Structure 1
């Protein structure tokens, strides 16, 4: 039975198919147990995100898993097979390491996937579907990702608009922890921005949104933030050192007049503003104000493109590291395969030792000379240990098997003269 990776991702399958195959995080432990019960698989982990669903298992063949998935999700077998890929053994290990490192992601090098892979491993542990082989694979994968993150710059430069906006804010404010941030909107992009700000230690965040319900939900996710209605934006904007806006409005919601009044209340302390909405949320004329630093999505795209090129270079280094880690894992696996032989050899020697020890004890009990008994014990034990290797060495010499003789010399620790 070997290690297998089987799945679909954004490169091989449409959104519709990815949605059909996806697993909710809270359902994973039960799903893992169900799959194993139906297919006879004992080791299984499932990585399921918006861009991929992958099965990592130890099995002889993938057909039972395919049949289960096709029936469970009511997907025609031929449709499923057209979008599936699968890897075995060393290739499967390499694939998992690349996935967890962000090298196979839509956004190259994105760090979120590592957390999702760790979560998949934890769900599998909870379900009791992690055996010795999966444990080794995942632990080696986590070690590989750590090397990629520490030895390359793949995670150093932002390649998402939200992250780029926060990194830009860090350049303006040396200490974000003391800044007040106003986030306009509460959609996916603002949610990512908010989380990035929290990671940078910012403590004071206000969320302005048309719906307080969505704003309050995001505030809870962040562990605490103020919320206001979008209609009250003019009343709170003067408190903000940082304003990041992304709504679905067709017209600007922050005008030059609103910002002028805010600056006056702030005694003209500068405001850093990022408009990542399309169409724009902030009137372009706001950029004419002396104490405002306004950046648009186009400004961020230039930064992102530069960083994307840097990540491509780092990705090449990461690929080399992954290759090293994959080869090392394969070597470790081959070494593991010798464990049974090592155990059997040790047991054989132990049996010989015990047999000779018993004989020696019997002779001593009969009044034998201790010196002679010990001499006999050591001689018999040495002869029995040397017998099988001696026979093999003579046979190799008779057959002129020089390679075997040299290998035996290394094995026995005999110095060559």
Structure 2
């Protein structure tokens, strides 16, 4: 029985593959239950973000079997997935999960959103009934280590995110962002960060498009934007100088035809677009249009790398905390593994004690002298407690099991009297 982490991310796989293996939020619970039945495990969780898709399990699951289920679910052959996948077992799996939660494995080194995404993945698995004690304990420890890293290192200082990188790229394209209008598609955490950064840069004309108007209105009110529905985008697109999109849609929101129509209305005034969704919200063919500058989440890497150097020292400190965290988790698991044996030993000892006390009370009530009864109680309890260990040690000596004899010295603290 061991922990297993398997997946792909922005380091190992192109965007085209990542979007094919992403799990839609509304499909995760069903996928977890299907995987639980197919793999015969009680512990499994799925983390699916714009930069990674990972599966975490505990049990006797073979990496090949897990990858086969993954491929079948997404209708991709194992051979096509194999070059892009990584897997970690045991301590390496726990260490990897900690690195992910702390943002050390993110496109943005130290970005904070991934911890919330991992907590959400854990919550969905709990609600789906696919988490039992081992994976529960692992997640709780991982979250505590992530909190420790945030508290004790500078990994989160000078916050940089994909949203920040998108706005930074826009600053490089436009001479003055304050004169530009923005259309933001989606109303999740990433788009909220984009809206926040745009407002900080002085952008006043922001339109927020979302599937539900209530959520768009809520976010728009916070940032002085105009809320619209996704269906209103064709009527608004030509007004936007920049478009930044991040939804959970499994199909593109913007197609080449809609963008062409908007460009005609703009008299071919260029549009800057950033698609930070996986799967992509904007059809890749839009990039073929002469007056469109379309960037995907992978295109933001250069902007992000400039901000990475300042966090490297903090990342090294975080890795030390993670290494210590893995050791601590192993110790906790070891203690937990002995819990059943300790409970059984205490229960048996308690039973023997109660039996001997009952005999002693009967003897006292029968008129026996207290000192005699106490000696009998002590001798009988000692003999019964030591009978099985003594017999086992004799058998071990006869069988040449020096390891068990040495263990007895350690378990019963006999080292001080151990013969040379």
**Does TM, normalized by the shorter one, top 0.5?**
yes
Partner of 1:187: 184
* Secondary structure of the corresponding residue to residue 326 of structure 1: helix
Secondary structure of 1:185's match? strand
Query: Which position in structure 2 is the counterpart of 1:335?
Result: 335
Matched residues in 2 for 1:152 and 1:200: separation?
Answer: 28
Q: 1:152 to 1:212 in 2, by over 3 A?
A: closer
* Contact 2:187 2:215 (C-alpha < 8 Å) held by counterparts: no
TM-score (norm 2): 0.68
How far residue 357 of structure 1 moved from its aligned partner, in angstroms, is: 2.6
Of residues 361-370 and 214-223 in structure 1, the stretch that sits farther from structure 2 once superposed is 214-223
The SS at the match of 1:328 is helix
Q: How does 1:27-176 map to 2 (within 5 A)?
A: 27-62=27-62, 63-160=64-161, 162-163=163-164
Identify the range of structure 1 (216-225 vs 75-84) with the bigger mean alpha-carbon deviation.
216-225
User: Alpha-carbon deviation of 1:158?
Assistant: 3.5
Give the match for residue 261 of structure 1. Answer: none
Q: How many residues align?
A: 350
Q: Report the equivalent of 2:378.
A: 378
Structure 2 CA distance for partners of 1:415 and 1:200, relative to 1, 3 Å: farther
Question: Residue by residue, what CA displacement relative to the aligned partner does 1:202-235 show, whole Å, maximum 9, x if unpaired?
Answer: 8x995435x97799788435262342998999xx
Give the C-alpha shift of residue 187 in structure 1. Answer: 3.2
* Farther-moved stretch of structure 1 (384-393 vs 88-97): 384-393
CA contact (8 A) 2:241 2:270 kept: no
Paired residues of 1:4 and 1:86 also in contact (CA < 8 A): yes
Partner of 2:354: 354
Give the corresponding residue for 2:286.
none
| CA RMSD in angstroms, aligned pairs only | 4.4
Per the alignment, do residues 137 and 182 of structure 1 end up closer, same or farther by CA in structure 2, a change over 3 Å counting?
A: farther
Return 5+ residue gaps in structure 1 as ranges: 168-180, 234-243, 254-276, 280-299
| Distance in 1 (alpha carbons) for counterparts of 2:37 and 2:211 | 40
Q: Distance in 1 between matches of 2:163 and 2:378?
A: 75
How far 1:96 moved relative to its partner? 0.6
Closer/same/farther in 2, CA of residues 55 and 159 from structure 1, 3 Å limit: same
State the Cα deviation string for residues 38-91 of structure 1 (Å, max 9, x = none).
331211110011221111111212344333323222211221233222111111
CA drift of 1:34 comes to 1.9
Distance 1:216 1:205, change over 3 A: farther
**What is the aligned partner in structure 2 of residue 273 from structure 1?**
none
Q: Take 1:165 and 1:215, find their aligned partners in 2: how far apart are those partners?
A: 24
Find the aligned partners of 2:191 and 2:5 in 1 and give their Cα distance. Answer: 33
Shift of 1:140: 0.7
- 1:102 Cα offset (Å): 1.1
User: In structure 2, what is the equivalent of residue 222 of structure 1?
Assistant: 219
CA, structure 1 residues 201+331, in 2 after alignment: closer, same or farther (shift >3 Å)? farther
Instruction: Quote the Cα distance in structure 2 between the aligned partners of 1:245 and 1:383.
Output: 88
Deviations 1:173-216 (A, max 9, x none): xxxxxxxx9982123699857536659998x995435x977997
Q: Rate the CA distance shift 1:190–1:409 in 2: closer, same or farther, 3 A.
A: closer
Supply the distance in 2 between the matched residues of 1:406 and 1:76 (Cα, whole angstroms): 53
- Hey, what's the Cα distance between the residues in 2 that align with 1:76 and 1:361? 74
Asked whether the 8 Å contact 1:93–1:137 carries over to 2, the reply is yes
> Quick one: distance in 1 between partners of 2:340 and 2:302?
58
